[in-house]
């Protein structure tokens, strides 16, 4: 069964600190992996996208890594800000259909405290 599991479910950190969010998936055949940020009451916004051959991708203070062999990805946030408080969703796409089926994780709820 194709699944995407994220950990931790929630995380509280102090402003200025770094953190790392994890994503494990069993989706096959793998096409790409995205990290989305979803602010409360808003729709998800894409942060990074990585294909099979990409190991790391940065977007400002966000750095995503991908290990396609172990089917793991991480999102590292550097020097966290209050505005980073949001749910971070890992989304994996397969190549098994023309739709490019997306599998969503439940997200990690990050809270940054001052």
Partner 1 sequence: EADIYQTPRYLVIGTGKKITLECSQTMGHDKMYWYQQDPGMELHLIHYSYGVNSTEKGDLSSESTVSRIRTEHFPLTLESARPSHTSQYLCASSESQTPRRGETQYFGPGTRLLVL
Q: Which stretch binds partner 1 (CB under 8 A): 13-21, 41-49, 65-73, 77-85?
A: 41-49
- Binding pattern to partner 1, positions 48-67, x when CB under 8 A? -x-x----------------
Rule CB under 8 A: say whether 31 interacts with partner 1: yes
Rule CB under 8 A: say whether 46 interacts with partner 1: yes
Q: How far is the CB of 106 from partner 1 (least distance, A)?
A: 5
CB atoms within 10 A of CB 60: 8
Rounded Cα–Cα distance for residues 58 and 114 (Å): 25
Contact predicate 90/7, CB 8 Å: no
Rule CB under 8 A: say whether 68 interacts with partner 1: no
Residues in the site for partner 1, rule: CB under 8 A?
4, 9, 31-32, 34, 41-46, 49, 51, 89, 93, 95, 99-100, 102, 104-107, 109
């Amino acid at each position: 069964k194709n699944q995407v599991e994220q950990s931790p479910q929630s995380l509280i950190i102090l402003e200025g600190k770094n953190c790392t969010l994890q994503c494990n998936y069993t989706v096959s055949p793998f096409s790409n992996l995205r990290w989305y940020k979803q602010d409360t009451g808003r729709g998800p916004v894409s942060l990074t996208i990585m294909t099979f051959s990409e190991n790391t991708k940065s977007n400002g203070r966000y750095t995503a890594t991908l290990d396609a062999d172990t089917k793991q990805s991480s999102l590292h946030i550097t020097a966290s800000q209050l505005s980073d408080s949001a749910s971070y969703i890992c989304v994996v796409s397969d190549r098994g259909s023309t739709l490019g089926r997306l599998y969503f994780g439940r997200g990690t709820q990050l809270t940054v405290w001052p």
